[in-house]
Structure 1
Amino acid sequence: MDIKDVLLYLLWVYLGIVNVAGFILPAVDKRRAKKDRWRIRESTLFLISALGGSVAMYISMRLFHHKTKHKRFMIGIPVIIVLQLGAVFAVWYFFIR
């Protein structure tokens, strides 16, 4: 196993962890909102999205109907997804192909 394989493995582990967090956090925040308890900051939700959990965050938002009435989230999370896809394409185009 060379360094490329190790780095690719670590990238997949990282993306798995951040996407699990991106899926769970909106569900937890929705539950806390219903129980009128301490909430997860919106900045935390955006941070997890920006760190790679945007797709899972968007799926979770739609599934649990959380933050779907907030334009900031319904526009912001898809914009993050598009930017991340652009970054992946740029890395592939300039460094891998």
Structure 2
Amino acid sequence: MKSSLRSGQLIKWKDDQGFGFIKPIDNTHEIFLHITEVRDATRRPIVGDTIYYRTSEQNGKVHASDAFILGARLSANSQHSSATPKNAVQGRSRTSSLLLETSLITVFPLIGAIHFGLTTNNSIPLFLYLTISIVSFTLYSDDKSRAQQKAWRIPEQTLILCDLAGGWIGGFIAQRKLRHKVSKSSYQFAFWLVVMMHHIVWLGWLISGKNLMG
């Protein structure tokens, strides 16, 4: 059974992590709010917003659900007539951008892996890129889900090691598609260091690998 509609002011908001806290109008305990519970918003929440919400209980803790921002909510008509087409266009644009970015950073290593396979009759590097990238994407997705549920997280070292083993392509796609780990500079440094290492290895192969094989 849904609770009655309540209101309060957003007094804390961490936009990079997608959560904050509402101070109810009756000055009771602060209520946790996650971005996934904000409905039909024309923008992201900011501190000071008046939030209307219902409450629900999860893992013994009360949090806001079915929330909307006063003054920043789509009207019923715009949800159907303008919001959906706009979201669809934005979705296609993001997909196209992701495909382009992925193509640009993977074309060189994939050419190297294909060249290695043709030269040595060993397709293991290309196979690892394809299979471990799937594993990496799955791990990122699982970690994102755990973060939203405030559950035990997958260690960052595990994600980086998986990327290092060949899953960085799947890791890159997961970061961009799921918006996960993209705002943490220390993690991005480690991730792009892994990407650079793979590029250097294949550059070395393409320059001197054929001579080494001879």
SS of 1:13's partner is helix
Q: Do structure 1's residue 42 and structure 2's residue 161 form an aligned pair? A: no
Give 1:12 deviation, angstroms. 2.4
Give ranges in structure 1 of 5+ residues lacking alignment.
Answer: none
Query: 1:96, CA displacement in angstroms?
Result: 2.3
CA RMSD of aligned residues (A): 1.5
Q: Sequence identity, in percent?
A: 21
Runs of at least 4 residues off by over 6 Å: none
Query: Does the 8 Å CA contact 1:58/1:78 hold for their aligned counterparts?
Result: no
Per-residue deviation, residues 65-95 of structure 1 (Å, max 9, x unmatched): 1111211122221221111111111012111
Q: Contact (CA 8 Å) 2:128, 2:167: kept in 1 or not?
A: no
Q: Among residues 38, 56, 80, which one is paired with 2:170 in the alignment?
A: 56
Matches within 5 A, 1:1-97: 4-5=120-121, 7-8=122-123, 10-96=124-210
CA distance in 1, matches of 2:126, 2:207: 20
More strand by share: 2
Structure number having the greater helix percentage: 1
Q: Residue type of the partner of 1:68?
A: V
Structure 2 Cα separation of the partners of residues 48 and 73 of structure 1: 14
The alignment of Structure 1 onto Structure 2 pairs a total of residues equal to 92
Q: Which has the higher contact order (CA 8 A, sep 6+)?
A: 1
Q: Distance in 1 between matches of 2:158 and 2:135?
A: 11
Q: Distance in 2 between matches of 1:94 and 1:81?
A: 20
Larger Rg belongs to: 2
